[in-house]
Structure 1
């Protein structure tokens, strides 16, 4: 199986928890035991995914340091720490909004990396689709909370 097919499947499948957390409350399901409330579950999952995407930026910087358009170590750490501090210190609404913005910022960084030839156009397209699905899901959760 080609790598592009694998990462495409995994990236889109990774949006399923966000989509489920956005849609299930419309069916009267606000929590799933033993996990708890779906809105809070989406934020913990979001924290993990944002950390994962920031880690991909680290790898890009490690292996392509001379070609990266800016310091991905600093941008990924700054973004993740901002999201984490908001997660720890703020209410659910601000956490959802911050994560939504973080996903968009991570996509904008990937756009720059794509323009610099550091990631493929196909990978960027998959990331854009996944980010759109996640962003709409987080927005639905935010507006429903």
Structure 2
């Protein structure tokens, strides 16, 4: 019997580490990472990629829902609004403004996941991991944001 678990919870927690490292680097005064560039820029781009990926996961969730499920309409709309708002925010806002927009984006997606969990569209294990990782990411971004 193969008891290997899916790697997604581990990868999800690992995906929070660049946010934590970015906030630690900003806190201790490291301004740039060799080869990668300014810490704030690296953190912003990584946040944009991860938030877009998560919005895409919401889009994917809607594809398996029945047409009469309210989330079948909400998910593609919300996921597009969030992804486009973050992209435009990245292009138009200051770095600190974009960091705060990421906080709003990640919290918004967790609120959506709460609704999906309540509607039994996502399971308990997935929601629990998302909740903890979002808390880690949001705290890291807040720590970074108040120092910029």
TM-score (norm 2): 0.91
**Out of 118, 122, 125, which is 1:119 matched to?**
122
Kept in 1, the 8 Å contact 2:103–2:142? The answer is yes
- Per-residue deviation, 1:68: 4.8
Distance 1:98 1:28 in 2: 23
Q: Deviations over 1:30-88 (max 9, x none)?
A: 21021111122111000000111011111100012443534211110011101110110
- Which 4+ runs in 1 deviate beyond 4 A? none
Distance 2:66 2:138 in 1: 29
Q: Which moved more, 1:96-105 or 1:70-79?
A: 70-79
TM-score (norm 1): 0.93
How many corresponding residue pairs? 143
Q: Which moved more, 1:128-137 or 1:34-43?
A: 34-43
Kept in 2, the 8 Å contact 1:68–1:118? The answer is no
Q: Which position in structure 2 is the counterpart of 1:20? A: 21
**Out of 124, 128, 143, which is 1:140 matched to?**
143
Q: Deviations over 1:87-142 (max 9, x none)?
A: 10111111011011000000000000000000011100100111001001100111
Distance 1:49 1:18 in 2: 10
Kept in 1, the 8 Å contact 2:110–2:131? The answer is yes
Distance 2:66 2:52 in 1: 20
Q: Which position in structure 2 is the counterpart of 1:86? A: 89
Kept in 1, the 8 Å contact 2:27–2:147? The answer is no
Q: Which moved more, 1:105-114 or 1:31-40?
A: 31-40
